[in-house]
Structure 1
Amino acid sequence: MLRRRDFIKAALAGISTLSLHPLGWSHSDSSSSWLWSAVDDAQGHQILGYQPATGEHFRIGVSERCHSGCRRPGHPQVALFARRPGRSFHVLDANERREITRIEARSGYHFYGHGTYSPDGRYLYATANRIHDGAGLISVFDAEQGYSLHGDIDLAGIGPHELRLMPDGETLAIGLGGIRTHPDYDRVKLNLDDMAPALLLVDRRSGTILERHAPSHHQLSCRHLDIAPDGSVIAGYQFQGPAWERRPLLAFRSPQGTYNEISLPDELTDELRHYIASIAIAPDAHRALATAPRGHRALLLDLDDGRLVASHSLRDAAGALPDRQGGFWVSSGLGAIYRVPGDGSAPQQLEALNLSWDNHLS
């Protein structure tokens, strides 16, 4: 395990040059760097704020298990979404360390656990499901009007999951999982035979679908993704077919709009057990990292060509986020938090907390 005082020296050396808190607002201590995650512990469902450089952390209790979060640009706010199929999202004031509002889904709708803000922080875009017909939507909320509903974007598909904003600030990239669920049946998958997953690019203002890229098999559920400054997208799949079949689990959308799946060694693909949980891109190192909790793996890829740089054994690897020093923070469902260097060297465990991290870091 990396000694705390050694880590602090290294972390502050790299982070002290930042002028903004990584959540997007000015902070009296510009060397502070907080991570956010949904967690579960002996007290129940929590949202955790964690500072890797010092180990400081705090928890905010919530009423249901949450999944992923996003930071509001220019404001000390973080939104975290209930885990699919979820009925609410929570908005926190990170400076005051408290929940400031909870937004409930409309009757007949639920959320899918992910969202992102517009560049100016006014609008929050959340993936959602209209329950009666299974229509996949992006619900748009006006943060300046108390997160009132502004409208919906119809995605002409089922099961949108993670979404992020492209570098142009106008286009949303969405992992369309293709899986229909219903809150009355918890997480039961209702349409495995006729799934139609895709990676979508959508104009956030008009709702026009600009690109639709289908995986090589209809049961490769396109769930998670991250975006590089040049518009490259790495997408992660979760295969819903037979356990004995071998399918690619990662894909690359180039800045020019071409779409190809990434080949990994057969033995490694088998180890991943059909499941990619989180994708993160470190633009300063041209590296991407994908976690595979069922296979206990963290995969480091070269962003330029999709080449596998390293495959690290990491128990129940869960959330991933760039650390702004060419590497990544990676959480574990078993409670540990790691730094994974971008050069392919071994992960460094910072510490282990008595909790279970969810599959995403913000």
Structure 2
Amino acid sequence: MADRRTLLKGMAAVALLPTRGWAAAGSPEWVAAAKRPDGSHALYGIAASGELVFQVALPGRGHAAAAHPHRADAVAFARRPGTFGIVLDCRSGDIIRRLTPPEDRQFNGHGAFSADGRWLYTSEVVAEGSAGRVGLWDVTANYARAGEWDSHGIGPHELRLLPNGGVVVANGGIETDPSDRTPLNLDRMRPNLAVLDAEGALVSTRALPDGLSQNSIRHLALLPNGVAFAMQWQGDPADPVPLLGLALGRADLATCALPDSEARSMQGYAGSIAASDGMIAVTSPRGGVAVIFDQDGTYRATLRRADLCGAAPARDAAFTLTDGGGAIWAAGPEGLRLRARHDLAWDNHLVRIAA
């Protein structure tokens, strides 16, 4: 006869079964937020062809989303600093729950689910001072707040789940005014990449060298042997600085140089990052470029298109990219191929549904 622990494990597993799976929502390959022609905002499901398979209205501008690994649940986050996270049933468009961070906390635009779908982790800051937090939400308890972890840095932005169940956090290093996002510490910022274990304990933090301390670490992509990260330069805009970094194994953070002309074309701003097929794509909507690297950081190609930003892996190409003009592109070192175009302005991020 099964003991109580085994029984509880079985009940938890049943609770997480894909009873509301992504096939019921049109089998989207990706989700992304966009602005509609009338100025309203929505979260969209995008098929591999570029066809839109669902849309769910949002109360304001979205930033990134987190897609549940099994159920057709997506959590859309407000553009930072924000106070809404909307849990959506993407089959019906129903709002399952509205997430609000605790008093004096703000969401910072990103979140991620645990591999089993039990936990949602959210990137947050303490409003005064911008100290970083990772919020914990229990999916099996209707997304109830279950606690928080220290992110061990200032101004965390994207976080990603690691294969071992830990979490890697891009602590951007920027303290901002809680009301209007005015940077308050650019002369003393210190971004870092922090790794937490599955219980929230600190495993490591790694910082950029002093000469790059104004390079805010913002976005993350997982590699077979580490993490790639995209940065946004807060220093002299005339300086052509590297905007791609690598954290491989236990080694110090490394940055990946570009020819000066290509570095200047990014205008000090990386908007999104993705890794796929042995390559890394870093987009710059300000520069209207996507730069392709090998996963060792070797420069491969520059693709040019106005307002390119969203980036995610694809099955039939290295990447899929989105732009502010409503286009969805297949992309690789060989160039861009149009998948579809819609009367929308895609926002910063494109999130792939777990295969």
Cα distance in 2, alignment partners of residues 152 and 120 from structure 1: 19
TM-score by length of 2: 0.88
Q: Hey, which of these two has a bigger chunk of strand by percent? A: 2
Alpha-carbon deviation of 1:115?
0.6
Q: Is contact 1:108–1:132 with CA below 8 Å preserved after alignment? A: yes
Letter of the aligned partner of 2:82 in structure 1? G
Match of 1:347, SS state, is strand
Residue of structure 2 equivalent to 1:321:
312
Q: Does the 8 Å CA contact 2:328/2:341 hold for their aligned counterparts?
A: yes
CA distance in 1, matches of 2:221, 2:135: 20
Change (3 A) 1:25 1:258: farther
- Which letter does structure 2 place at the counterpart of 1:112? N
Contact 1:167–1:231 at 8 Å: present in 2 too?
Answer: no
Q: Secondary structure at the match of 1:192?
A: coil
Aligned length: 330
Among 136, 145, 163, the alignment partner of 2:159 is: 163
Aligned residue in 1 for 2:3? none
CA 1:115–1:159 in structure 2 vs 1: closer, same or farther (change >3 Å)? same
Say which SS state the counterpart of residue 112 (structure 1) adopts: strand
Gaps of 5+ in 1: 1-23
Q: In structure 1, the residue corresponding to 2:23 is in which secondary structure?
A: coil
CA distance in 1, matches of 2:53, 2:273: 24
- Give the superposed CA RMSD: 1.9
| 2:144 counterpart (148, 152, 167) | 148
Query: Does the alignment pair 1:345 with 2:334?
Result: yes
**How much identity, in percent, do the aligned residues show?**
32
Cα offset for 1:278?
Answer: 0.6
* Partner Cα distance (2:22, 2:346) in 1: 27
Q: Distance in 1 between matches of 2:144 and 2:125?
A: 18
Question: What CA deviation, in whole Å up to 9, does each residue of 1:51-102 have, x standing for no partner?
Answer: 2426234322111211011111222211111110010101111222332221
Equivalent residue, structure 2, for 1:195? 189
Q: Aligned runs of 1:46-195 on 2, under 5 Å?
A: 46-53=42-49, 55-169=51-165, 171-184=166-179, 186-195=180-189
Contact 1:111 1:128 in 2 (8 A): yes
Moved over 4 A (4+): none
Does the Cα contact within 8 Å between 1:302 and 1:309 map onto a contact in 2? yes
| Structure 2 gap segments, 5+ residues each | 1-19
Is the contact made by 1:85 and 1:182 (CA closer than 8 Å) also made in structure 2?
A: no
Name the CA distance, whole Å, in 1 between partners of 2:273 and 2:50: 25
2:276 paired with 1:287: no
Letter in 2 for 1:301: F
Deviation at 1:326, TM superposition (A): 4.4
Aligned: 1:360 with 2:349? yes
Choose from 247, 256, 261 the match for 1:253.
247
**1:27 match:** 23
Measured at CA, do residues 151 and 29 of structure 1 come closer, stay the same or move farther in structure 2, by a change above 3 Å? closer
Letter in 2 for 1:224: H
CA shift, 1:351, in A, is 2.5
In the alignment, structure 1 residue 244 sits paired with structure 2 residue 238? yes
Question: Would the alpha carbon gap of residues 306 and 25 (structure 1) be closer, same or farther in structure 2, given more than 3 Å must change?
Answer: farther
Q: TM-score, normalised by structure 1?
A: 0.86
